[in-house]
Structure 1
């Protein structure tokens, strides 16, 4: 358990940050799921729109330190390839 005032404050901050990060991660997953569902349904236009909405959200996750840059880059690349293949 935290003993010093500083460590108590850091514990409070970490708890608050954890909740914020959890919400952001969940939001990103939701955007990714929408792209996946659009791809599964075979709707090219909906998949493109969902991907356009998901990309900035995923990039924001990187800047906020919730996800790693390479992870997001890989996910965007793979989703983009699948959406592009759907259009053909």
Structure 2
């Protein structure tokens, strides 16, 4: 544990930020899973709604710096390709 007051404060802030990031990363994975589950049902309306929600969440996390823009593009591209094959 840190001895200096400012480093103690930084450790506390880092832990809060880590929990925040874990929460949003988990939410991101959940929305990706929702799209994958919708793809299994082969219901086009359900797939489009889930994809639109997922796309919005991914873009927000990219703007916040949680994930890299190329990773976001890769996820969206792969799911979009799967969506169009149904």
Please give the TM-score of this superposition, normalised by the length of structure 2: 0.94
* Partner in structure 2 of residue 52 of structure 1: 52
Q: Could you say what the CA RMSD is over the residues aligned between the two structures, in angstroms?
A: 0.8
Partner Cα distance (2:29, 2:20) in 1: 14
Map 1:1-88 onto structure 2 (within 5 A). Answer: 1-86=1-86
Instruction: Show CA shifts across 1:21-76 (max 9, x none).
Output: 01101111111100000001111111111000010101111122211110011100
Moved over 3 A (4+): none
Please give the TM-score of this superposition, normalised by the length of structure 1: 0.92
Partner Cα distance (1:25, 1:35) in 2: 16
